[in-house]
Amino acid sequence: METKKELTVSAIENGTVIDHIPTTALFQVIHILGLENYKEEVLIGNNLDSKKIDHKGIIKIKNKHFSKEEISRIALVAPYATIINIENYSVVDKFQTEVPEHIERFVKCANPKCITNAEAVPTKFDVVDKENLKLKCHYCEKFTTKETLTFIR
Partner 1 sequence: MSNLKGRNLISITDFSKEEYIQVLDIAEGFEKNPKQKILSDKVIATLFFEPSTRTRLSFESAANQLGARIIGFSDPGGTSVQKGESLHDTIVMVSSYSDLIVMRNPKEGSSRYASEVATVPVINAGDGANQHPTQCMLDLYSIRKTQGTLENLNIACVGDLKYGRTVHSLVQAMCNFNATFHLVSPEELKLPSSVKMSIKDAGLKYYQYTDIRDIVPVADIIYMTRVQRERFPDPMEYERVKDSCILTASMLKGCKDTMRVLHPLPRVNEITVDVDSTPYAYYFRQAQNGVYVRQALMAAILGVK
Residues interacting with partner 1, by CB under 8 A? 109, 111, 113-116, 118-121, 137-143
Q: Sheet of 143-145: strands edge to edge? A: 102-104, 124-129, 134-137, 143-145
Cβ-based nearer residue to partner 1, 59 or 109: 109
Residue 12 Cβ vs partner 1, minimum distance, rounded to whole Å: 44
Cα radius of gyration (the chain) = 17
Report the run of H or E that residue 17 belongs to, with start and end.
Answer: strand 15-22
Which of 39/113 has CB closer to partner 1?
113
Strands, E, within 23-107: which ranges?
Answer: 42-49, 55-62, 82-87, 90-96, 102-104
Q: Which of 147, 146, 133 is nearest to 99 (CA)?
A: 133
Cβ 96 to partner 1 shortest distance, Å: 29
CB 25 within 8 A of CB 77: yes
How near is the Cβ of 139 to partner 1 at its closest, in Å? Answer: 3
Residue 65 or 136 having the CB closest to partner 1: 136
Q: Which is nearer to partner 1, 38 or 143 (CB)?
A: 143
Residue 92 beta carbon to partner 1: minimum distance, rounded to whole angstroms: 40
